[in-house]
Amino acid sequence: MDEPVARFLVEELRRRGHEVREHGALRSGADPQWAVCSEAAARDVAEGARRWNDANVTAAGLLLAMTAVTSTMTSNRRVEAALRAAAPADDPDHPESRDPVQEGAI
- pLDDT tens per residue across span 1-57: 557 888 898 899 899 998 888 888 888 888 888 777 788 888 887 887 777 777 777
* Dihedral sign of CA atoms 69, 75, 76, 78 in order: positive
Q: How far apart are CA 32 and CA 22, in angstroms?
A: 11
DSSP state of 25: G
SS3 66: helix
**Where does the pLDDT of residue 101 fall: very low under 50, low under 70, confident under 90, or very high at 90 and above?**
low
Q: What is the pTM of this model?
A: 0.41
Q: What is the pLDDT of residue 19?
A: 86
- Reported as a single tens digit per residue, the pLDDT across 48-96 is 777 777 777 777 777 777 776 667 766 777 767 776 676 666 666 666 6
Q: How far apart are CA 82 and CA 84, in angstroms?
A: 5
Are the beta carbons of 24 and 10 closer than 8 angstroms? no
